Amino acid sequence: MIDTLTCGARTLDLSAPVVMGILNVTPDSFSDGGRFTKRDDALRQAERMLADGAAIIDVGGESTRPGAAPVSEQQELDRVVPVVEALTSEFGALVSVDTSTAAVIRDAAAAGAGMINDVRALRRPGALEAAATSGLPVCLMHMLGEPGNMQDNPCYQDVTAEVIDFLRQRIAACKQAGIPSERLLIDPGFGFAKTVEHNLTLMNEMAALQALALPILIGISRKSLFGKLLGREVSERLPASLAAAVMCIERGAMIVRAHDVQETVDVVRFAHAVKQSGDSDRII
């Protein structure tokens, strides 16, 4: 497993797990839609997340919540690229772009982005080629269907095995397109085309993803899983999100994508410290 990831002009240290702060510049994201659509509001939020310990800021211009409709290429470009430019030039931040669109991949890379985070695993037309040309690391996420229909009737015989098989196929496609393993990360896609039971099984068996020998990114923050299982509204899901983050670190996650950065940084660091203590020689 790699300890460092070359992200354009920046390097990401993965010798210990890190937190990716979520910055949605969309009007309709499930948790914070509309809060950061103005450039200055987005920059102040990113500044707060960086101060709270985020190693990466993940900028998204197209909502991928269940039932979300796609936006036009130009809309996404207009939302994302100016924010990427500002974050890299004003803060020197390592910016990931949450996109599936080839033009956004190209223009975000030119604007200084250091990573591509694609919920569709580079399956949109031109995305694979754009990512290969960008030279940036890419996170491949598992999802069946599209956000508009992914929760209609997700069905698996063995959810963990099928997620791993899907990711293995996308890794092979990336390598064939000229994207080496050193530029790849994987995400099991909690909440994407998965029922509550699928999510619970996948989290329980998540250590199996380590067989792919790539850094694992997880996004579990404030997910509807907690609403369905615990009866909590979006604003009440922080404790469960933190518990899930700890469980994922125990099972091999190296990047935790989160809305609540300061709290998540604390639990990630603590979970890693406990894990490290178990790997060291015990002194009696």
Averaged pLDDT for residues 64-68: 69
Tokens in use for 113?
A: 């982005």
| In the predicted structure, residue 54 carries a pLDDT above the cut 60 | yes
pLDDT single digits (tens) 246-265: 999 999 999 999 999 999 99
How would you label 110-128 residue by residue, b for 16+ Cβ within 10 Å and e otherwise? ebbbbbbbbbbbbebeebb
* Catalytic status, residue 194: no
The reported pLDDT for the residue numbered 251 is 97
Task: Return the axis-axis angle of helices 39-51 and 73-91, rounded to nearest 10°.
Answer: 50
Torsion angle defined by CA atoms of residues 272, 252, 121 and 239, in that order, rounded to the nearest 10 degrees: -60
CATH of 4-272, one of 1.10.3720.10, 3.40.430.10, 3.40.718.10, 3.20.20.20: 3.20.20.20
Q: How far apart are CA 252 and CA 206, in angstroms?
A: 8
CA–CA distance from 78 to each of 74, 163, 195 (Å)? 6, 33, 34
281 band by pLDDT with thresholds 50, 70 and 90: low
First to last CA, the chain: 31
The reported pLDDT for the residue numbered 280 is 56
Task: Give every CB contact of residue 170 below 8 A, 6+ residues apart in sequence.
Answer: 121, 122, 123, 140
Tokens in use for 266?
A: 């604390």
79, 120, 223, 237: which one is catalytic? 223
| In the predicted structure, residue 179 carries a pLDDT above the cut 60 | yes
* Catalytic status, residue 228: no
Q: How far apart are CA 240 and CA 64, in angstroms?
A: 21
pLDDT single digits (tens) 214-244: 999 999 999 999 999 999 999 999 999 999 9
Averaged pLDDT for residues 124-130: 97
Averaged pLDDT for residues 263-281: 88
Q: How far apart are CA 116 and CA 81, in angstroms?
A: 13
Residue 118: name the closest of 101, 93, 106, 94 by CA: 101
- Residue 79 is inside which H or E element, if any? helix 73-91
Tokens in use for 231?
A: 């009866």
| In the predicted structure, residue 29 carries a pLDDT above the cut 50 | no
Averaged pLDDT for residues 156-177: 97
